[in-house]
Amino acid sequence: MWNKRADTVVHETEPYNAEPTPTALAEGFLTDEDVFYSRNHGPIPDIDPAGWRLTVADGHGMSRSFSLVELREEFDEISVVATLQCAGNRRAGLMAVREIPGEDPWTQCATSTARWNGVALADLLRSCGVEENTPGHVEFVGPDVSDLATPPQRYGSSIELTKAMSAETLLAWGMNGQPLPRVHGGPVRVVVPGYIGARSVKWVDEITLRDSPSDNWFQRVAYRVLPSDADPDSAGPGDGISLSSVALNCDFLHPDPTTTIHGDEVRVGGYAFAGDDRAVSRVQVSTDDGATWIEAELAESQGRWAWRHWSAVVPLDAPEVELCVRAWDGAAATQPASAAELWNPKGYVNNSWGRLTLHRPPATT
Ligand SMILES: Nc1nc2c(c(=O)[nH]1)N[C@H]1C(S)=C(S)[C@@H](COP(=O)(O)O)O[C@H]1N2
Ligand SMILES: [Mo]
């Protein structure tokens, strides 16, 4: 389905919500199209690239329309390597603490990395007369109508104008050198590097400059971290912490915990990611629940908007060993130990320590 590998973990088919296995996600620094996770709130539209139009308006008389050919011809093409991470990534760890009805149990694979190419949103907005450094917000709306929203509505979100005018934010028509696949927002999507995936609106066809954040349900009501005792069904617009920048996070991707490890040490590895203006500075692995830590090696950085792969060799001195991993950012902030500290009614931002239990064959005498 949707060109994904047969081993893809499909949480829902309508709307389509699927993540790769950790083993598949570990295969490349850039995530192949058939591995990349996909998160949808409604039916996936089928848009003819030749008929697609993007409207840019400010509600005060400015309104412009662009075709894909015009975007390609009128602006310089840029490319950015960026990790997308769903705010619900690792929700399964929160669900293990307490149930979260109506949400998918994403593991640590609702995140993926691609080279996106297209036009800098700043170039497009400047051509529409938008000035740098003015306060305000930029709303993106796609054509897909979601009945998960109250009332049912097209999917939308917004970001601050300053982020929209930053060099990394783009309207992408390409992913890893190929035309943007339909399931990932083709012909054109927004990519907001460093922000939760929810802000990177797919199939975008309307951009509106506003004084305040979008009134769209997915901005005003969803993607907000409510207090742990809040009732999500009665939460109203503006309740909770509205998410933008991705929280520092990391997890294991290999080895596969269902395999038996031979030998008394093993190389483990995974990803670490810090959103927006922060960077992963250190990753550490523990075999004793955080009493002591082993420094992991960080693979070379491939730009500030992409995850870092890490690996470490750790001793395995028991038949069953539970490993933990945590990252630190450039402000020396690190991750909380347990998901229980973070539990929230919609199950967002589980950035507690990653955990992996490995097994050795029973000792023979
Ligand atoms: N139009 C539209 N854009 C959308 C969504 C959607 O349902 N509709 N889902 C958002 C969410 S929550 C995420 S995490 C990312 C997922 O992008 P992907 O499917 O390309 O991985 O798209 C975002 N953009
Ligand atoms: Mo998401």
Q: Which segments of the chain belong to CATH 2.60.40.650?
A: 249-359
Q: Is the confidence at residue 365, as pLDDT, over 80?
A: no
pLDDT in tens, 257-281: 999 999 999 999 999 999 998 999 9
User: What is the residue with the minimal CA distance to atom 16 of ligand 1?
Assistant: 39
Pick the atom of ligand 1 nearest to 204's CA. Answer: 1
Q: Has this prediction a pTM greater than 0.85?
A: yes
Pocket test for ligand 1, best of 202, 204, 216 (most atoms within 8 A of CB): 202
CATH 3.20.20.210 fits 249-359, yes or no: no
CATH 3.40.50.720 describes domain 9-242: no
Mean pLDDT score, 26-36: 97
Q: Which pLDDT tens digit goes with each residue over 180-231? A: 999 999 999 999 999 999 999 999 999 999 999 999 999 999 999 999 999 9
| pLDDT, mean of residues 136-148 | 98
Ligand 1 first shell, C-beta below 6 A: 36-41, 84, 86, 142, 144, 155, 184-185, 197-198, 200-203
Q: Give mean pLDDT, residues 44-48.
A: 98
pLDDT at residue number 364: 66
- Encoded tokens for 81: 């390597």
What's the rounded Cα separation, in Å, for the pair 255 and 281? 23
Give the ligand at the shortest distance from the Cα of 38: 1
Q: Could you tell me the distance, in angstroms and rounded to a whole number, from the CA of residue 40 to the centre of ligand 2?
A: 8
In the chain, where does the domain assigned CATH 3.90.420.10 lie? 9-242
Question: Cα-flanking dihedrals φ and ψ of residue 184, to 5°?
Answer: -100, 10
Q: How confident is the model at residue 133, as a pLDDT?
A: 83
Question: pLDDT category, 234, cuts 50, 70, 90?
Answer: confident
Give the bridge partners for 282, in sequence order.
328
Q: What is d(CA 221, CA 126) in angstroms, rounded to the nearest whole number?
A: 30
pLDDT of residue 237: 82
Query: Which of 2, 17, 39, 206 is the pocket-test mutation for ligand 1 (most atoms within 8 Å of CB)?
Result: 39
Least confident among 42-46, 58-62, 85-89, 186-190: 58-62
Helices (H), the chain: 22-25, 68-74, 91-95, 121-127, 161-164, 217-220
Atom 4 of ligand 1: nearest residue by CA position: 201
Looking at all shown ligands, the one closest to residue 20's CA atom is: 1
For the CA of 17, the nearest ligand: 1
Closest Cα to atom 9, ligand 1: which residue? Answer: 40
pLDDT band (50, 70, 90) for residue 363: low
Q: Over range 348-361, report the average pLDDT.
A: 96
